[in-house]
Structure 1
Amino acid sequence: MDKLTYSTAGVDVDEGQRAVDLMKQHVKSTFTPQVLTDIGGFGGLFALDVKDMKEPILVSGTDGVGTKLKIAFMTDRHDTIGQDCVAMCVNDILCQGAKPLFFLDYIATGRLQAEKAAEIVKGIAMGCKESGCSLIGGETAEMPGFYQDGEYDVAGFAVGIVDRQNLITGEGIIPGDIVIGIPSSGIHSNGFSLVRKLLFDIKGYDINSEIDGLEKKLGNELLTPTKIYVKPVLEVLKKSKVKGIVHITGGGFFENIPRILPQNTAANIKVGSWPISPIFNIIQQQGNIDDSEMFKTFNMGIGMMLVVDKNEAKDVLETLAEIGEKGYEIGNILEGQRQVVLCQG
């Protein structure tokens, strides 16, 4: 029997080091002066700057990309998935008013391919720069026999900061408040099990299919990265009082909005008060899917919602317009039992 090595067991240490070398430029591009470590340390060091805060609170969040990864495998395109991972995490902590500080990633695969891993990290770095945070660490795990050839998983972890006096909890929401929606870039990173079942298994489309109503081939449309809302929302928070923020992810409108509603309040959402992205119309029509199921599964063209006093709504919409971001008054708060009511606007 030949001598057994880690390499013959399926783990290529040299390829792992080559992947790290290819990642370095992308990771370092996210560094701010608060990052105190270089790549390769056992832990990432980040110096907090809290001199302008009375009572700083750290806010953390973690998430992955889900079965949207299957589209990346099908297209062999891996430069957008990283932004999805960052967005899912930083958009969540943003809901409590937190400014993202740093991010860590985890990539696991059966057989490491350095260039592919570097493309994923490139997307993560782009997402970090878009959200104003630093990529200070991560892990690339090669796990032979655990994943099918060419497949991988990606997850991330974000930490942000907010002064306690500016913490957003939703507890001040009352009937009469206004719901403002900020558009999504598409499906984002939820509902892809239904999307793949319908479009590929049932309808027989492939990644290169061109469907009326879509400007891109189907694969590229589905890989449109999740929008990062950090910059526009933080700009709004500088100028206006926001009572609640909702990130529309898994569970759509029906599960996410009630998470910030106090007892005895409900959200009245006016369908038709914003443009719904064509991809959602295609999915609904081709799948013969009820409105309730669509709003329970997808973001339906609205990725982030802000709940504000009716006297603040105009200012918030103006702030968004000033920075080139669209905003829509999509509903209001009513008396009720922590639920979402859809009506035609």
Structure 2
Amino acid sequence: MADSRPPAKPMTYAGAGVDIDAGDRMVNLIEHHMRRTYGPRVLGKHGAFAGCFRLDFNERLFQRNYRDPVLVSCTDGVGTKVKLAAQMNIHDTVGQDLVAMNVNDLIVQGAEPLFFLDYIGIHKLTPELAAAIVKGVADGCELAGCALLGGETAEMPDVYAEGDFDLAGFAVGVCEMNRMIDGSRTEPGDVILGLASSGVHSNGYSLVRAVIKEAGLDLNKVYDELETDEPLGRVLLEPTRIYAKSVVSTLRHYTVKQVVSAMSHITGGGMVDNIPRTLGDTLDAVIDRKSWDVPPIFKLLQQRGNVEEDEMLRVFNMGVGYILTVRPYFAEAIADRLAKAGETVYRLGELVPGSGEVKFR
């Protein structure tokens, strides 16, 4: 019969790999990051079991009141970009990526971001490391105009390898029922406007990391092809651009006419897969391949990795992170408004009768 004697020393949670004291210290470190995202709609105290956000449509807590409000929600992560962040020991940028991946999806429906929650799964909790991640999340929330309402950090040494972590985010927004944007109003002749990305954003990093490995690229080296003094690793960790404020303010300017017929967040699948999600099966998006500037990072990855052009367009944003399909008469005015909000705007092409595809010319 097996010996079932108890261990000689008393067992503890810390001995099993989970440090409760470190978790408490992390909560204290992130408080000021969370509070800088708060507005008058956030209620309750820091460290409560749940965050509270006030929905009061009789007061001017919202930037505008909603007659028939619809809550819009989404969840997403950062993918294997976290592996690169861990490898570079840079943790204060992927939090912004996390917010971007969620709120950029949210605004596609025409929603105003309200609040955000994050989840960090990690091998071993270092309060300073987790605080750096949360700082990035708070930075992203400020850029998106939403509150960081809460989150969870799970220390799981049996699940994550040493040095590894993962991120997930959850966003909630609101829009007017009759102002929701779902692509059902797209028409032939609608103009396709593209907003420049800040780089690779947060998709395709399994391929990025494969190219780095196979081509023997050095993350700490400055490459002439990148046309910058930043090393490759820093370029690849450039945070995903957040389009929320510029897009929401543009939509809000047109209070009567619905001049934007569809929008797309260009994530995994690139323009090829994401634009058709709003086209239906009777229209094609015809895009001029020379109408926008492809950032040097994509050219380096394509050349050093010997990646086919079609594969690049299917995996990456290639320099366009967000798409608006707009009525032709308003295209120039909308482009000017977005440019004044800080966006680089490209007139990419137009919609034509077809079968729900993206065609490059």
Do these two structures clear the TM 0.5 threshold for a shared fold by scoring above it?
yes
Residues 166-203 of structure 1 show CA distances to partners (whole Å, capped at 9, x for unaligned) of 1011101011110000000000000111111012x111
For the residues of structure 1 that align with 2:267 and 2:92, how far apart are their CA atoms? 21
Match of 1:135 in 2: 148
TM-score, normalised with respect to structure 1: 0.97
2:276 pairs, out of 247, 258, 263, with 258
Structure 1 residue 206, shift from structure 2 partner: 2.0
For the residues of structure 2 that align with 1:49 and 1:295, how far apart are their CA atoms? 44
Match of 2:235 in 1: 221
2:268 partner SS: coil
Amino acid across the alignment from 1:90:
V
1:278 pairs, out of 289, 296, 303, with 296
**Contact conserved, 1:65 with 1:154, CA < 8 A, in 2?**
yes
Structure 1 residue 49, shift from structure 2 partner: 3.7
1:147 partner SS: coil
Structure 1 residue 321, shift from structure 2 partner: 2.4
Q: For structure 1, list consecutive stretches of 5 or more residues without a partner in the other structure.
A: none
Match of 1:317 in 2: 335
Structure 1 segment 184-223 matched on structure 2, within 5 A:
184-199=197-212, 201-214=213-226, 215=228, 216-223=230-237
Amino acid across the alignment from 1:319:
R
Structure 1 residue 323, shift from structure 2 partner: 2.5
Count of residues paired in the alignment: 342
Match of 2:168 in 1: 155
Match of 1:96 in 2: 109
1:165 correspondence with 2:166: no
Moved over 3 A (4+): none
**Contact conserved, 1:106 with 1:155, CA < 8 A, in 2?**
yes
Structure 1 residue 63, shift from structure 2 partner: 0.4
Q: For structure 2, list consecutive stretches of 5 or more residues without a partner in the other structure.
A: 1-7, 59-64
Match of 2:43 in 1: 36
Structure 1 residue 239, shift from structure 2 partner: 2.8
**Contact conserved, 1:22 with 1:114, CA < 8 A, in 2?**
yes
**Contact conserved, 1:235 with 1:319, CA < 8 A, in 2?**
no
Amino acid across the alignment from 1:211:
Y
For the residues of structure 2 that align with 1:49 and 1:242, how far apart are their CA atoms? 28
1:73 pairs, out of 86, 91, 101, with 86
Structure 1 residue 144, shift from structure 2 partner: 1.8
2:125 pairs, out of 104, 112, 118, with 112
For the residues of structure 1 that align with 2:232 and 2:339, how far apart are their CA atoms? 30
Residues 280-338 of structure 1 show CA distances to partners (whole Å, capped at 9, x for unaligned) of 11111222222211110000100000000111101111112222322111011011111
Two-structure CA RMSD over aligned residues (Å): 1.0
Amino acid across the alignment from 2:311:
E
Structure 1 residue 145, shift from structure 2 partner: 1.8
Match of 1:245 in 2: 263
Structure 1 residue 4, shift from structure 2 partner: 0.9
